[in-house]
Amino acid sequence: MTDIARQTGLTETGVRAALDRLTELSLLHSAAGAESFIPVSPEIGIAPLLQRIEAEIDEQRARLSRDRATLATLASDYASLRFQAGSEGVERLDGVDAVRIRLHEISQKASSSVRAFMPGGALSTAALDACKPLDEQTLARGVHMQTVYLDSVRNDQATVEYASWFSSLGGRTRTLPSLPMRLILCDRSAAVLPLDQDSSQAGAYVIHLKSVVAALNELFDLIWDRATPLGESAAPDLDGPSERDLALLKMLEEGLTDEGISRKLGVSIRTVRRVMSDLMKRLDAQSRFQAGAEAVRRGWI
């Protein structure tokens, strides 16, 4: 032991550990009656060990093959059960948890595009942080992502920072004063719409009907072209109405209250009244009714 330590430069403890390992691998046999060892050919000593490892790998491969077959069966059953809840081509998801899980599944399968309308104002920092890993994975796969928010998010620092991060990875973000609905489109083959436009917590429909999905993508294109990239300011129009003016007039025409307009625009009631006051001044109107009439006269609506 001492001679080996001197020749190898190892400590006696290190030598003993090495000898134990070589014995474990069947590359050494202890000589009877003396502290000496008989070396064994590596080809003979290690061959049984390699055979055991190969057998274990073969068993793992067989198990993996069985698990993949089971997964394929479960996935088929899962898809079948989803469509049993509604008519062919339409899934109904009840509750926000079911929606969240299904959205994760759809996003994971997206291969070309994910497009979304996000009304309701700025998201919380926690919500934005929760979105980051999935968005990062989706963009890393080369999927084109486009999101339209309300103009009001421009006043939210967390959303602006998120949009900047999103853009740095290849995503694109734009804003408009108002949006027609909450909507997510994946690969131009699936659309996700809320059961209730006023309560996204209620659940959602997942639509696979080609004609409906195509129409919703056309709507997205029209609104995307009108929207302003986040990070840029909309060019002022001193003569005609702005997008915000048109959105406000449309909501007044529909009979929405200040509270309803506030929810649609994602701003405070105080902001709604200030914007309305500015618009009335531009139209030289003394009342909202007169403002509407003047907007019609000018061809704004």
**Using one digit for the tens of pLDDT, what is the confidence trace for 238-266?**
566 777 778 888 888 888 888 888 888 87
Report if residue 100 sits inside a domain.
yes
Residue 22 has pLDDT above 60, yes or no: yes
Residue written as token pair 């000496």: 36
Give the C-alpha separation, 220 to 146, whole Å.
10
One domain for residues 191 and 97: yes
Q: What is the mean pLDDT of residues 160-182?
A: 89
Q: Say which residues have a Cβ less than 8 Å from residue 259's Cβ, sequence separation at least 6.
A: 269
Per-residue confidence band for 120, with pLDDT thresholds at 50, 70 and 90: confident
Dihedral sign computed on CA atoms, order 104, 162, 158, 118: negative
- The answer to whether residue 50 sits within a structural domain is no
In a domain, 250, yes or no: yes
Q: Are residues 156 and 125 in the same domain?
A: yes
DSSP state letter for 232: B
Q: Which residues contact 127 (CB under 8 A, 6 or more apart)?
A: none
- Which token pair is 227? 């929207």
CA terminus-to-terminus distance, the chain: 99
209 with 263, same domain: the answer is no
State the residue for tokens 């696979």.
208
84: pLDDT strictly greater than 70: no
Q: 232 falls in which pLDDT band (50, 70, 90)?
A: low
Q: What is the mean pLDDT of residues 222-236?
A: 77
Q: Which residues of 263-283 are buried (b: 16+ CB within 10 A; e: fewer)?
A: bbbbbeeebbeebbeebbeeb
Percent of the chain with pLDDT over 70: 88
One domain, residues 286 and 182 = no
How large is the average pLDDT for residues 223-242? 73
pLDDT at position 300 = 78
**Residue 83 or residue 144, greater confidence:** 144
Chain segment 53-79, per-residue pLDDT in tens? 888 898 888 888 888 888 877 766 666
Q: How many domains does the chain have?
A: 3
In this structure, the answer to whether residues 207 and 280 fall within a common structural domain is no
The C-alpha angle 224, 225, 231, rounded to 5 degrees, equals: 75
CATH code of residue 265: 1.10.10.10
- The pLDDT, as a whole number, for residue 33 is 55
Are residues 249 and 151 located together in one domain of the fold? Answer: no
In the predicted model, what is the mean pLDDT of residues 159-167?
Answer: 88
Both 165 and 253 in one domain: the answer is no
Which pLDDT does position 87 carry in this prediction? 55
Is residue 92's pLDDT more than 60? yes
Question: What is the residue range of 154's domain?
Answer: 87-229
Indicate the pTM of the whole model. Answer: 0.58
